[in-house]
Structure formats: structure tokens, C-alpha cells
């Protein structure tokens, strides 16, 4: 199984809503990532979890709250988002290693629209 599964595929939410994005992998990867991608732009790193601990937060606003309940799951909790937060949210996972081939696998993303 070399898949990263993200749900939902599409999400429309109001600015007062609370929603969560989910990401799951069963490759035994201990590094998991959240990226945000706007149209015609590269993915921008948001958060990195290593061994279920938050290791990198790229100055992301607190209305985005990540959670890693176990080594296979990564959530992104959303609250009080703005229309400019509308984007494709990508989850990725990889081995944690400085030297080995640490290919990062990406999920298909959640297309989020904030209205």
C-alpha cells in the first residue's frame, strides 16, 4: 500500500464553521506534512510532524490547528477561516531519515472553498 488517503476530496465551509481534514497512510512513515496550494503556485509547507510530534510550523495562523493522533493519521482542524484560505490542501508522508531515499508520497488533496 503506497497510498496517502485524504478526506474529504471537496469541502465548502462558511467562515463561522468548524471542519476537519483527514489524512491517513499505512506505509509506516513517521513524517507527515500539510501543504497549502493556491492555483498556479507551488505547494507551500504548513506543518511537519515527526514521530507524532509537531516539528515545524511555518508561521501558520491559529485558525489552522494540526493534530497527529497516531502514526498513521494526521488531521487539520479548521475554524473561522477566511475566503483567502480557499485552496488545495495536500497531505504527504515520508520516512524520517537524513540519508536514505525518503520519497514523499502525496495524497490527492482536499479542495477547500470558504464562503
- In the complex, the smallest distance separating the C-beta of residue 104 from another protein, rounded to whole angstroms, is 6
Q: What is the 3-state secondary structure (H, E, C) of 25-85?
A: ECCCCCEEEEEEECCCCCCEEEEEEECCEEEEECCCCCCEEEEEEECCEEEEEEECCCHHH
Least Å from the CB of residue 103 to another protein: 5
Which is nearer to another protein, 17 or 108 (by Cβ)? 108
Which lies closer to another protein via its Cβ, residue 16 or residue 98?
98
Which residues form the interface with another protein (CB under 8 A)?
Answer: 31, 33, 41-45, 48, 50, 56, 88, 90, 92, 94, 96-99, 101-109
Choose between 81 and 90: whose C-beta lies nearer to another protein: 90
Amino acid at each position: 500500500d503506497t497510498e496517502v488517503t485524504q478526506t474529504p476530496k471537496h469541502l465548502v465551509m462558511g467562515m463561522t464553521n468548524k471542519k476537519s481534514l483527514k489524512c491517513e497512510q499505512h506505509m509506516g512513515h513517521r513524517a507527515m506534512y500539510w501543504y497549502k496550494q493556491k492555483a498556479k503556485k507551488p505547494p507551500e509547507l504548513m506543518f511537519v510532524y515527526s514521530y507524532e510530534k509537531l516539528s515545524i510550523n511555518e508561521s501558520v495562523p491559529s485558525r489552522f490547528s494540526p493534530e497527529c493522533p497516531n502514526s498513521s493519521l494526521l488531521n487539520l482542524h479548521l475554524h473561522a477561516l477566511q475566503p483567502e484560505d480557499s485552496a488545495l490542501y495536500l497531505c504527504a508522508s515520508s520516512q524520517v531519515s537524513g540519508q536514505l531515499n525518503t520519497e514523499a508520497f502525496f495524497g490527492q488533496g482536499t479542495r477547500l472553498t470558504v464562503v
